[in-house]
Structure 1
C-alpha cells in the first residue's frame, strides 16, 4: 500500500507534497510523487523541436528526483517518482492500481466564483474518479489528526467497503470520528444506517451530531470552525448523466477554499 501525490511544482502542490510526506510517515507506507508534464505557455507558442521538448521533460524529471531524495531524507520514508507526458486524469488510474494506493493527494485551490461554477482540477478528479482523493489547501500543514468530521447523509446507503476505508484511516491516525448530519428538522438518529455505522466503526471512537439547517454547506463550514476538526471526510455518490447536469455535488463545493484537508471517498451508485 502507498500514497500518491500529484505535483506540478507550484506552491499549492508543494504544500500538498509536504503534507503527503508527513502522512506517509504516520501510515508507515511508501510515497509516490507523480508529475504530469505540461509545456509552459511560452514554450508551447515557440514550436519547440522534439529534442528541446525532451530536454524540458528531463529537467522536470531531474527536479522530481531531487524532491524525492529530499523528502526521503527529511521524513525517513521511501519515496519513488514518476513523470509522464500524459495528464493526471489519464495516468492516475493506472498508478493507483500499480501501487495499490490508499488515496491520491492533490492541492486544493482557493475558493472563487469561477470555481463554484465550473470547478477546478481538484474537483474534476473527485467527480471523475472512483478512488479516495485527499485535497490539501495551501494553509494546511501536516499535524497529528485527532478529530475527523464525517459529513454523512444518513438517508443513503453506504457500502461496507466504503465505510471500511474510513475506519482504516481513523485507526491509522488514532482519531475520533464525529458523524455529522444536517437536516431541515431534528430527529432521533435511529436508522439502519446508524446501526451499520456503529458496527463498522465499533473499534473507532465515534459520536453523532445532528444539526438543523436549510444549508448543508453552511452547516458543515460552521461545524469545522466549532469542532476544531483537522480532517473533513465526505462520501460523494456517483450520478448518471442527466442527474449530473442538474445536481451540484456538496463535495465538489467543499473541495474549494476550505482551510482543512478534505478526504473524498466515493460511493458508487
Structure 2
C-alpha cells in the first residue's frame, strides 16, 4: 500500500504530513512525500538567471529529502519523495499511476469567504481527481479512528466501488461506521421500493463490518452532517462528491468541498 501526501511546508500541510505518516505506520504502508515547487514571489518578480532558479529547485529538494528522512526515522516507515515544477493536481495524477497509490492526503485550511467563492488546492483536488482524497484540517491528529460517519444519498444508491473503499477502511482501522442520510422525503419513502433496494445494496457492500443506519428528515444537509459529527463523536467523515456540468456547477456547490473547509476532523472524499 502506498500513500501520497503533498506539502508546501506550511503549518497546515505539515500537520497533514504527520497525519499521513501515522496512517502509514498503522497500515504498514509506504509514504511518498510530494512537493510542487513554486518560485517565491520576490524571486519571480526579478530577472533571475537559470542558475539561480536551479539553485532554488535544488535547495527545495534537499529540504524535501531531509523531511522524508526525519519521517522515516520518527515513524519507522519507508518514505520516498517527489518534487515537480508543475500544478499539484496534474502531478498527483501521474504519481497515482506511478506508485499505484491507494490514497492522497492533503492539508485543509480553515473556512474563509475567498475559499467559499474560489476554493483552494485541496478542494480542487477533490473535484478533479478520480481518486480518494483525505483532507486533514489543522490540529487533527491520528490516534486511531474508531468512529467513521459515512454521509451518503441512500435513495440514489451507492456504488460497489465506494462501498468497497468504506469497508476496507473500516476493517483496517477496526472502526464502526454510521451510514447517515439526510433527505426531506425519506420518511415517506423509506419503506418503498427504491429505498429498500438501495439499503439492501449497502448491506451487501458493508457485510462483515460494524455499521448501522441513521436517517434525518431535513432540507439542511450540511448543518445536519455537522450536528451528527458531534452526536456520533466521529473521528472521520466520508462523503461522495457529485459531478455537475458547467451550468449546473454555477448554481450547485459541492457539499463535499463545502464540508471539507469547515471541519475539525479529516474528510475522506471517494469519487464515484
Say yes or no: TM over 0.5: yes
Report the secondary structure of 2:165's partner residue. helix
Q: Are 2:152 and 2:158, in contact at CA under 8 Å, matched by a contact in 1?
A: no
Rounded Cα–Cα distance in structure 1 between residues aligned with 2:21 and 2:237: 19
Q: Quote the RMSD (CA, aligned, Å).
A: 1.2
Offset of residue 242 of structure 1: 2.6
Task: Name which of structure 1's ranges 154-163 and 61-70 shifts more when overlaid on structure 2.
Answer: 154-163
Offset of residue 53 of structure 1: 0.5
Task: Name which of structure 1's ranges 84-93 and 243-252 shifts more when overlaid on structure 2.
Answer: 243-252
Q: Are 2:149 and 2:178, in contact at CA under 8 Å, matched by a contact in 1?
A: yes
Rounded Cα–Cα distance in structure 2 between residues aligned with 1:125 and 1:156: 24
Q: How does 1:2-151 map to 2 (within 5 A)?
A: 2-151=2-151
* TM-score, structure 1 normalization: 0.96
Q: 1:207 aligns to what?
A: 212
Offset of residue 186 of structure 1: 5.0
Report the secondary structure of 2:154's partner residue. coil
Which of 248, 254, 258 is the matching residue for 1:249?
254
Which of 233, 239, 245 is the matching residue for 2:238?
233
Q: Does 1:260 align with 2:257?
A: no
Residues paired across the two proteins, number: 267
Higher helix share: 2
Q: Are 2:6 and 2:34, in contact at CA under 8 Å, matched by a contact in 1?
A: yes
Task: Name which of structure 1's ranges 161-170 and 7-16 shifts more when overlaid on structure 2.
Answer: 161-170
Q: Does 1:191 align with 2:196?
A: yes
Q: Deviations over 1:192-248 (max 9, x none)?
A: 111111111111100100112220000001111111100000011222233222221
Report the secondary structure of 2:26's partner residue. helix
Q: Deviations over 1:118-137 (max 9, x none)?
A: 21111111011110100000
Task: Name which of structure 1's ranges 215-224 and 184-193 shifts more when overlaid on structure 2.
Answer: 184-193
Offset of residue 31 of structure 1: 0.3
Rounded Cα–Cα distance in structure 2 between residues aligned with 1:129 and 1:243: 19
Offset of residue 20 of structure 1: 0.1
Q: Are 2:88 and 2:121, in contact at CA under 8 Å, matched by a contact in 1?
A: no
Q: Deviations over 1:26-82 (max 9, x none)?
A: 111100000000011111112211110110111110111011111111111100000
Rounded Cα–Cα distance in structure 2 between residues aligned with 1:110 and 1:206: 30
Report the secondary structure of 2:131's partner residue. coil
Report the secondary structure of 1:208's partner residue. strand
Which segments of 5 or more consecutive residues in structure 2 lack a partner in the other structure?
Answer: none
